[in-house]
Amino acid sequence: LLPTTAAERYQLSADKVRAAWGAKTRGVLLASPSNPTGTSIAPDELRRIHDVVRSHDGITMIDEIYLGLSYEEEFGHTALAIDDSIISINSFSKYFNMTGWRLGWMVVPDAMVPVVERLAQNLFICASTVSQHAALACFEAESIAEYERRRAEFKARRDFFIPALQSLGLNVPVMPDGAFYAWADCTQAAQQLGVNGSWDFAFELMRRAHIAVTPGRDFGAAEPERFIRFSTANSMAQLQESVSRLRTVLG
């Protein structure tokens, strides 16, 4: 696990991958867009990362589960456009709104297909028939139209919610370009409420404003007490209400 910073869009860099590569390293696992930050890897940096991995005869594996919920053209392309030796992991759960159906896919190089099939055969055999029929319906024209409408709604929520957080002293260092999260620095706001760190701040928001957020410690060891995660996977009306409650508490 490698810590990242806002300057890197909370994503790995080629320099960090190169420095961290050791005798037992076999590859790199990325997520773009990611949870909890909602940020994607810049395409040029992803190419550089993959070049480092290839120079070590390693594997680049990327979680693209939120890729369908990208809002900026720059980041809305699969890593497979760079090289078909990259392994892409995806799911019907986010863009296709099938959370809980446990259905996804991997795109792997041809030579790896028999190996992955054997792995899948021993882990879960196959996806359920019901899930497969539901997935087929996702590709109907009217379904895609609904998903695109929904993606536009997620972007509208982001464009409302992030500036509102900023105005309340909850700084979001990097604008999320996908998914439906806001990774906010709560240092100033926590001090205002007389608590230290994101864990206690999260409980104060529940107690004072009846708002649930996720403290940074749920997402690893990179400045966990400094950050909290908001989710915008809710209606605009609910987000507006949450901002109103935050304003009442934070001023």
SS3 category, 15: helix
189 and 221 assigned to the same domain: yes
Residue 1, in any domain of the structure: no
99 and 149 assigned to the same domain: no
Main-chain dihedrals φ then ψ at residue 183, nearest 5 degrees:
-100, 100
* pTM for the whole structure: 0.94
Q: How many CA atoms, within 13 angstroms, populate the side-chain half-sphere of residue 182?
A: 25
11 and 123 assigned to the same domain: yes
> If you write DSSP's letter for every residue of 149-162 in order, what string do you get?
HHHHHHHHHHHHHH
Q: What angle do CA 75, 11, 19 make, to 5 degrees?
A: 130
Residue 144: Cβ within 10 Å count: 13
116 and 156 assigned to the same domain: no
- Looking at residue 90, what DSSP letter applies? E
Looking at 139, 169, 193, the residue that finishes a domain is 139
83 and 124 assigned to the same domain: yes
244 and 170 assigned to the same domain: yes
**What's the CA gap between 73 and 104, in Å, rounded?**
24
146 and 135 assigned to the same domain: no
**23 is in which domain, residue-wise?**
6-139
Looking at 80, 114, 139, the residue that finishes a domain is 139
Looking at 139, 158, 190, the residue that finishes a domain is 139
Residue 51, in any domain of the structure: yes
Q: What is the CATH number of the domain that holds 53?
A: 3.40.640.10
22 and 79 assigned to the same domain: yes
146 and 171 assigned to the same domain: yes
111 and 154 assigned to the same domain: no
Q: What is the CATH number of the domain that holds 177?
A: 3.90.1150.10
Low-confidence ranges of the chain (pLDDT < 50): none
10 and 134 assigned to the same domain: yes
Residue 131, in any domain of the structure: yes
Distances, alpha carbon 14 to alpha carbons 24, 43, 60, in Å: 18, 12, 12
90 and 150 assigned to the same domain: no
* 12, 222 contact by CB (below 8 A): no
SS3 category, 120: helix
Residue 175, in any domain of the structure: yes
Number of domains in the chain: 2
Task: Please give the pLDDT value at position 179.
Answer: 97
Task: Please give the pLDDT value at position 251.
Answer: 82
**What's the CA gap between 221 and 218, in Å, rounded?**
9
Tokens of 98: 């099938």
Residue 229, in any domain of the structure: yes
